[in-house]
Amino acid sequence: MAVDDPWGISDAGFYRPRADEVREFAVDTWKSVFGAGRNTESDTIDGHFIDFASEFAAKLWEGLEATYGSAYTATAGGVQLRELGNDMIGPAKGALATTVSLVFYGTDTTAVPIATSATESVSNEPFSTDAAATVGAGDTTFVAEMTTPADSTIMRVTINGTDFDHTTSGAETPTFIAASLADEVNAGAEPATAVAIGGLLALDEDDGGSMTVAVFDDDTGTRITLSDAARVATTATNTGPTTIVEGSTWELSNPISGVDGVLNTADGLTGQNDETDPEYRTRIRSSVVFGDATAAVLALDGVTFARTYENDTDAVDGEGRPAHSIEAVVLGGDDDEIAQAIWDSRRQGIQTFGSESGTATDSAGASHTMYFNRVTQTTVYVDAIVTQGEDWPAAGSPLVDIETAIVDAVNALTVGQDVSPARLVNAIYDAVPQVADAALEIDTITPPVATSTLSIGIRQTASTTAAEVNVS
């Protein structure tokens, strides 16, 4: 660029002159003032002055460029990005801890103090109770532990006078019996929800009242041990995305006399880290591109992905959406909060579509069921045959490095993004540049057989681990 070309803002945007351009301009200006014969090389007095002024001016131009860029979400960062985003979609998300509802079971009237700590075995994350509770209070939650009975034994749980039976056939495990009884209870008419966790059967009254629970024993001995329980909300000690799945293993940090065990009958609500600039920028862009419903759901704590699809035709579309409906595809977040966000942002007369649901409340206090879909994981299997090139590493574990690179590349894909062989091959070359060639088979079955791009649906995300990747 010549020195008389536009610097700064123009119809083409913003141009920042580089240091050599600034110096060239300074030299021309210096000679126009002090004479064309002046020696302006860097080792002269004049050159020293010019170098100092040019470097100072170049720094100013860098600042001006940054100021210009801070007006746009694509180039702004830090406080400026958050000010821009706040005006568009609301503030960036702060860090939150994972929460999960735990069931403490044991002896009736046992106190579970506030801040009681229980640690989940996989994450090794301690969770503390948000409030005090008493085992057996309100007669709303019970836990039944199965034994290993003889053949043709009646295993019975009685709720509010209604019997739910399972008669054993052959050698059946406590886990199988608990699952069978859970199915019986959930299919029955009593206002109770049953969840089988191994050989334990957790029972919750779900109509806002209390219930009576009994188990059937006779002179053959105890078949089922029934315990009172208390359900308590708990929060992880540390913020961030700690994943808790139904049926996790728990250990009390300080044993409580009268508490026999702790369990969880549902997944936890996964926490989050502080939203980074790239994450916030992506959410701003998605909110603008995909509309109000996407923006409303994305703004919820715990939601890491959301996209809404609309069928504005008069017929069912190719994805099964009814006429004049929207489908929200969501990863993370609370069901009812998602439902409320959809209700608040959708247009009147537009129905919702999906296999999951939550309850929203309108301005008059009436409840409405909103449907949506959850993102599901598609397990990806990869076989990679690599040809060793020159200077193949004699030390280290290059095949393991390739395996790790493949796993990372697959898991970095976003929702609905296909798994292409080219992406994985590039990851292999980046991990071990001495690879001469790589042949891949990528599939959802094992052993994989497909060699083309693996298609991932709009409601799916690709996922893999080292156990699903074979490198040779």
pLDDT at 90: 84
Confidence at residue 1, expressed as pLDDT on a 0 to 100 scale: 42
**pLDDT on residue 170:** 85
pLDDT value of residue 2: 46
For residue 447, say if its preceding peptide bond is cis, omega within 30 degrees of 0: yes
Position 130 scores a pLDDT of 97
Residue 75's pLDDT is 84
- Per-residue pLDDT at 3: 47
Is residue 420 within 8 Å of residue 453, measured between CB atoms?
Answer: yes
Q: What is the Cα–Cα distance from 294 to 317, expressed in whole angstroms?
A: 20
Q: What is the DSSP string of 382-398?
A: EEEEEEE-TT--SSS-H
pLDDT digits (tens, 9 = 90+) for 185-211: 999 999 999 999 999 999 999 988 999
- 0.85 exceeded by the pTM? no
pLDDT < 50 stretches in the chain: 1-3
CA distance 329 to 320: 14
∠ CA 208-209-215 to the nearest 5 degrees? Answer: 120
